[in-house]
Amino acid sequence: MSQPPRRALVASPTTPAQTAAAELADAQDWVDVEDADLIVALGGDGFMLQTLHRMLERRKAPVPVFGMNLGTVGFLMNEWRRHGLEGRLEQARPFKVTPLQCTVTGSDGRIHSMPAINEVSLLRETRQTAKLEVIVNDRIVLPELACDGILVATPAGSTAYNFSAQGPILPLGSNLLALTPISPFRPRRWRGAILPDKARIAIRVLDSGKRPVSAVADQREIRDVAEVTICVDRARELTLMFDPEHALDDRITMEQFIA
């Protein structure tokens, strides 16, 4: 006889999420995250990102995450409902998410490696405009981009900061990345690029002493960077679980038609 799946319950520290967690505490025998076959996450999109990063740091292989929205937008979450959780988990559909891996070289020569599920952003640290050299697959495509910053977004993250910066929305499964400038000054007509997710992107900071730049991978920031390289990390695929009617891919598509 097969053993029933082991599930863990995690919740944002916010009052609504903690209240919901208390309501579900006796719904089944929850286990520790490290021992679980599936995670139920209560909170908003920010908490979902934290949970997915926790999966990347897990000693064992990542397991699927089923989120229920107790935050604001809840784009990556299902609707919160107290009852019928067991049936929802059995019928939930998986969506695969492949994170980015960025390697950051600081101005001090130190090297940092960080994953990102939504995007990697380079942002100016002072009122001085950032000046960046953009390289794709070892070819310099922009010798000098004067801007507030630039970001590389995955399809899952293309509706977040990338969309606010007027970047394109990418369908799930499109095998594409969005390379989007933030308030570009020169070249004036450059508004970004859509790249295959096999591309290797490098961004070098020009005149970093006078024009310091930070690198942010989702919620982790490294200041005073000299160079950042970004690529898709296919070895660490993540799985989100959704109610059949949720259809994350359809929601991403329909975001393009919301005024």
Say whether 159 counts as a known binding-site residue: yes
Say whether 45 counts as a known binding-site residue: yes
| Position 151, amino acid | L
In 3-state terms, what secondary structure has residue 164? Answer: helix
Respond yes or no: is residue 45 known to be catalytic. yes
Active-site annotation holder among 32, 45, 233, 243: 45
Q: Which of 204, 194, 224 lies closest to 212, judged by CA?
A: 224
Rounded Cα–Cα distance for residues 70 and 54 (Å): 19
CB 214 within 8 A of CB 182: no
Rounded Cα–Cα distance for residues 173 and 180 (Å): 19
Say whether 164 counts as a known binding-site residue: yes
Phi-psi region of 3 (alpha: psi -120 to 50; beta: other; left: phi over 0): beta
Beta bridge partners of 178: 153, 194
Say whether 233 counts as a known binding-site residue: no
CB 59 within 8 A of CB 1: no
Say whether 29 counts as a known binding-site residue: no
Rounded Cα–Cα distance for residues 59 and 37 (Å): 13
Say whether 156 counts as a known binding-site residue: yes
In 3-state terms, what secondary structure has residue 96? Answer: strand
Say whether 160 counts as a known binding-site residue: yes
Say whether 137 counts as a known binding-site residue: no
Say whether 57 counts as a known binding-site residue: no
Any idea which residue has 């329909």 for tokens?
254
Say whether 163 counts as a known binding-site residue: yes
Tokens, residue 214: 């930070």
Beta bridge partners of 220: 217
Say whether 17 counts as a known binding-site residue: no
Per the annotation, binding residues are 45-46, 118-119, 148, 156, 159-164
Catalytic residues: 45
Annotated binding residues for NAD(+): 45-46, 118-119, 148, 156, 159-164
